[in-house]
Amino acid sequence: MANGDLVALARRAAEAGAAVAADRFRTGIDVEQKGEKTDVVTQADRDAQAAVIDVIRGEYPEAAIVGEEEGASKSVPESGTAWIVDPIDGTNNFVRGIRSWGTAVAVVRDGDPAAGATSLPALGDDYWTDGETTYRNGEAVTVSAETDPEAGVATPTMWWDFDSRDQYTRACQAVVDRFGDLRRIGCAQAELAGVADGSLDGVVTNIRSHPWDTVAGVAMVRAAGGTVTDLSGDRWRHDSVGLVASNGGVHDALLDAAREIDGE
């Protein structure tokens, strides 16, 4: 499968899932808790994932699919091609009627991001990458040129459970101590897309993220000229602990922030 074919299918799949979710947005849909009180799911999540999988399997019936909801694997294979699906990234925003949510579909080859698409229908934005260039609504985008953290904008991404709120506090403090401003968007894929298009200068977390929350966005940041590492500054993988994604120019400051969150 050529990357052009992969990204075309990823786009179709993401748009199909996003269309299902958009039909349920702000309709008073029932909300269920999966674990923590802030870890929620709706039938829209399940139906959107089913729509994404239908599109992928329509082309590749035996495709390996990793997804957030039931009916998909939870681990990324280390060899071959796999599809990683988040039917609604930012479900807490979705159920509250906040527009920052989206459907993300990524393709990995031998465990490494190769292509991805994120559809943010309530914001009117569609992002995709073929691994070489990142696009927003058909126009190529690049990371920002900011090199001064004190003039930059960063966000602590992901979520810390209630027994780790000291880390959440340190995350916010570490960002505001180093950067000009902080954004908390509540949708990791939208945040990573923001780094890719230059509207954010960096995102950071010290925890191991789920691949469906990150891989599509990581591919976009890299293809847009950015840098994505783990807490040690090594190249980020889907199983890395911590995620530090930036325009490259403020990466050292963001790494310092990440290590402070982790109590180093």
Q: What are the start-end ranges of the H helices in the chain?
A: 3-24, 43-59, 91-95, 165-178, 188-197, 211-223, 251-261
DSSP secondary structure of 135-183? EETTEEE-------GGG-EEEE-S---GGGHHHHHHHHHHHHHHSSEE-
User: How far, in Å, CA of 71 to CA of 50, rounded?
Assistant: 9
User: How far, in Å, CA of 45 to CA of 18, rounded?
Assistant: 10
Q: Cα–chain-centroid distance for residue 257?
A: 20
Distances from the Cα of 1 to the Cα of 35, 77, 129, 172, angstroms: 38, 17, 15, 42
Annotated binding-site positions for Mg(2+): 68, 86, 88-89, 213
Annotated binding-site positions: 68, 86, 88-89, 213
**Cα diameter, the chain:** 50
Name the nearest CA neighbour of 20 among 57, 40, 56, 46.
46
Question: What SS3 class is residue 246?
Answer: strand
